[in-house]
Structure 1
Amino acid sequence: MAVSFDCFGTLVTAERPPDPASAIASELEARDVAVPADWDEAFVERHVRAPEHAEVPLPAHVGRALASRDVEWADNAVRRAVVAAFDPVVETRPGAVAAVAAAGERGPVAVCSNCGVPELVSKALLRSTVDRSAFDAIVTSAACGFRKPASEIFEATAEALDVPPSSLVHVGDDPETDGGITNAGGTAISLEETALPAVPDRLDEVIG
């Protein structure tokens, strides 16, 4: 058996920019990228037609939004601007350290997170008190290409841990998205039913 954890809202809480469009615009300007006058409109427009539950990484969305206004940029300025715009203050949720440690006693452990911002999950974990080295894999929707509840992201997580999806137990705070693990044949532990500090005992029941 293996265990995966959702990141935001499960292991950590993190402050995010109240106005992502404005935060990204500021970082673009700092990198000499021209921000169109109607940036707020461009930012919320859909520029990539993606299948249901497919993830469009935020740098790709921002790049398409700028291109739709004929804005050009050099190198990886857009990616760096997006990463810089999301620089969170992180708090570790009570029970997270013990839950991850308990999971590690039972098999490989991963983070499986819906996150379209590159580096954000790793950055949040490094700023938390959870032992980053406790994770054998970090799987994000930006890297995987699919968002929970899609089976594909859970299958990618199981593959990263070298177990079949049916052997994956996923812990998360959102029953709708994190509960998608059941469609991949795995087991869900919802924080709506099991408080994070009680997860070690719940793992005893599920895994033994």
Structure 2
Amino acid sequence: MAVTFDLFGTLVDVDYPVDPGAAVADALREYGVAVPDDWDDAYREVHIDAPEGAEVPLPAHVAAALRSRGVDAPNNAARRAVITAFDPEVTTRPGAVEAVEAAREVGPVGLLSNCSVPELVPRSLIRSDFDWHGFDAITSSVACGWRKPHPQAFEAAARNLDVDPSELVHVGDDPDTDGGVEGVGGRFVNLRETTLEELTSRLRGGRDPCP
């Protein structure tokens, strides 16, 4: 058995921008990009035709939105602006560190997070109470190219842990995304029904982590 954890809303809480499009626009201006007058519309439009379930990195979306209005973003400004805009405060959720430590006692432990912002997952971990080395593998959608609940997201996490997808027990707070592990034969611990403290108790008591 290998245990994977969702990150945002499961292990940590982050303070996202209230208006992401406006935050990105402000950062673009900092890097000398002329933000179009109808940026709010451009940011909300779909500019990249990706397969269903595929992750579109936010910098790629921002660059495409600018191009749709005839604006260039030189010197990797789109990526730099996105990283600047998403620079949140991070709070470790109660019981999260103990749950990960308990999971390590029974097998390999991974992280599987939907996140379209480069560097946000590692930066959030650094700012949390977690030891970076407490995870055997860290998989994000922006890195593997697929978002939960797509099977390829869970398959990527399993590969990174060197286990079969059916061996995964995935812990998360969103049945619509995290529950996708069941589509590859794995099992889902729904934090809307099981607390992190209860999960820790079950793992340390030698019981099945899935109620």
Where on the TM-score scale, by shorter chain, does this alignment land: which range? over 0.9
Q: TM-score, normalised by structure 2?
A: 0.95
After superposition, residues 110-121 of structure 1 pair within 5 angstroms as 110-121=110-121
- Residue 75 of structure 1 deviates from its aligned partner by 2.3
Counterpart secondary structure, 2:36? coil
Counterpart secondary structure, 2:188? strand
| C-alpha separation in 1, matches of 2:46 and 2:209 | 43
Counterpart secondary structure, 2:91? strand
| C-alpha separation in 2, matches of 1:45 and 1:202 | 45
| C-alpha separation in 1, matches of 2:30 and 2:51 | 33
| C-alpha separation in 1, matches of 2:134 and 2:35 | 41
Which stretches in structure 2 are left out of the alignment for 5+ residues?
A: none
Aligned 8 A contact 1:58 1:82 in 2: yes
- Residue 129 of structure 1 deviates from its aligned partner by 0.7
| C-alpha separation in 2, matches of 1:142 and 1:152 | 13
Cα 1:104–1:159 change in 2 (3 A) is: same
Aligned to 1:148: 148
Counterpart secondary structure, 1:61? helix
Q: TM-score, normalised by structure 1?
A: 0.96
After superposition, residues 76-155 of structure 1 pair within 5 angstroms as 76-155=76-155
Match among 189, 205, 208 for residue 206 of structure 1 = 208
- Residue 205 of structure 1 deviates from its aligned partner by 2.3
After superposition, residues 1-208 of structure 1 pair within 5 angstroms as 1-203=1-203, 204-206=206-208
| C-alpha separation in 1, matches of 2:125 and 2:197 | 18
Counterpart secondary structure, 2:207? helix
Aligned length: 208
| C-alpha separation in 1, matches of 2:196 and 2:209 | 16
| C-alpha separation in 1, matches of 2:9 and 2:197 | 14
| C-alpha separation in 2, matches of 1:18 and 1:98 | 31
- Residue 47 of structure 1 deviates from its aligned partner by 0.4
Counterpart secondary structure, 2:176? helix
Aligned 8 A contact 1:194 1:202 in 2: no
What root-mean-square deviation, in Å, do the aligned CA atoms of Structure 1 and Structure 2 show? 1.3
Aligned 8 A contact 1:5 1:111 in 2: yes
Larger mean Cα displacement after TM superposition, 73-82 or 62-71: 73-82
- Deviation string for 1:3-25 (max 9, x for gaps)? 11000000000000001111001
Aligned 8 A contact 2:199 2:209 in 1: no
